[in-house]
């Protein structure tokens, strides 16, 4: 159902782009905006993995330097039939984690030192399974496509601001003004809805990969409490990375607000606890 919902939202974003293009940019404006937004987001997608890891000063670990964490990821990757990703640790007291990379063949998972110090091994397995689910679902690509369309809508609005827009639309200047104000807001809402949908889907698939939804549910509760109490200065300096983390690192409270990139932690935990055991096994039990 989440895949179907994501497809519908992507279709809605595409339709919004076409409508805005017709109303305020015309065909030429649509092509220019799509090419510019696509180029920028393709560059970001291609380089995002190393850029984000570098921003958070992540250091790569292996079976010798972090045997417990590495072993958990290794077993989970085998459970999910995924290539072994690179594993990173981030020296940060806030318990959190994220995955990055263009696809399963060049993926990386990163956990903060706060996470491995706060959670037990079962909970760490739940979190790492969630991140591997993002890798398996190719959510980085999904969000890049979403960002491209949302960016193109925003560019069309800027074109209208500086060049007057396409006044030959049925509503004339009123239509241009309405699209300038409402279109970027609508694009942002759809983008946030897609991001939240992918988090729910990663929770579901992550619970299947580790075999114990309760491990992830318990971890999410601890991570949310930790994120509310402990600052993540690197994330605060670059809020655009917030959507990558398993819980919001920016102290945005756990509510399903329209502009939140993350679903309510309470809702996520309730869904996980309604799943029951999923059946996988691992050496951390």
Phi, psi (rounded to 5 degrees) for 92: -150, 130
Per-residue pLDDT, 170: 55
Average pLDDT over residues 246-271: 76
Sequence-distant (≥ 6) Cβ neighbours of residue 151 within 8 angstroms: 36, 37, 40, 41
- How far is it, in rounded angstroms, from Cα 111 to Cα 15? 37
Give a yes or no: residue 151 inside a domain.
Answer: yes
| Lowest pLDDT segment from 79-83, 197-201, 250-254 | 250-254
Give how many domains the chain has, as a whole number. 1
Could you list the residue range(s) of the whole structural domain that residue 245 is in?
2-273
Confirm whether 129 is domain-assigned. yes
pLDDT at 235 (0 to 100): 82
Catalytic residue among 27, 50, 131, 214: 131
Residue 128 included in any domain:
yes
- More confident call, 80 vs 38: 80
- Establish if 203 belongs to a structural domain: yes
The answer to whether residue 131 is catalytic is yes
Q: Is residue 138 part of a domain?
A: yes
Query: Does residue 210 lie within any of the structural domains?
Result: yes
Quick one: average pLDDT of 73-94?
97
The whole-number pLDDT of residue 84 equals 97
- pLDDT band per the 50, 70, 90 thresholds, residue 212: very high
Looking at residue 172, its pLDDT comes to: 54
Residue 53 lies in a domain: yes
Whether the pLDDT of residue 33 is over 80: the answer is no
Percent of the chain with pLDDT over 70: 67
284 within domain boundaries: no
CA distance 220 to 253: 14
**pLDDT at residue 269, rounded to an integer:** 97
CA torsion through residues 191, 193, 199, 205, sign: negative
Q: What is the mean pLDDT of residues 196-212?
A: 93
**pLDDT on residue 66:** 96
């Amino acid at each position: 159902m989440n895949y179907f919902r994501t497809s519908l939202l992507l279709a809605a974003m595409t339709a919004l782009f076409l409508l805005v293009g017709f109303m305020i940019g015309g065909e030429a404006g649509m092509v220019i905006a799509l090419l510019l937004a696509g180029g920028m987001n393709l560059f970001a997608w291609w380089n995002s993995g190393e850029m984000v890891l570098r921003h958070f000063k992540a250091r790569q670990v292996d079976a010798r330097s972090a045997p417990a964490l590495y072993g958990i990821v290794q077993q989970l990757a085998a459970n999910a039939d995924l290539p072994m990703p690179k594993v990173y640790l981030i020296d940060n007291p806030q318990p959190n984690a994220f995955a990055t990379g263009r696809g399963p063949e060049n993926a990386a998972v990163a956990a903060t030192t706060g996470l491995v110090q706060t959670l037990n091994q079962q909970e760490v397995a739940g979190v790492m399974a969630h991140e591997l689910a993002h890798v398996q679902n190719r959510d980085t690509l999904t969000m890049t496509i979403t960002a491209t369309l949302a960016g193109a809508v925003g560019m069309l609005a800027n074109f209208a601001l500086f060049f007057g827009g396409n006044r030959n639309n049925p509503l004339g200047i009123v239509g241009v003004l309405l699209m300038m104000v409402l279109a970027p807001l609508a694009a942002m809402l759809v983008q946030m809805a897609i991001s939240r949908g992918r988090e729910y889907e990663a929770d579901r698939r992550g619970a299947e990969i580790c075999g114990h939804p309760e491990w992830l549910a318990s971890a999410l509760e601890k991570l949310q409490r930790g994120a509310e109490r402990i600052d993540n200065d690197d994330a605060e300096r670059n809020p655009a990375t917030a959507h990558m983390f398993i819980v919001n690192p920016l102290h945005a409270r756990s509510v399903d607000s329209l502009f939140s990139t993350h679903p309510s932690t309470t809702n996520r935990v309730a869904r996980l606890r309604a799943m029951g055991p999923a059946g996988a096994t691992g050496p951390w039990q």
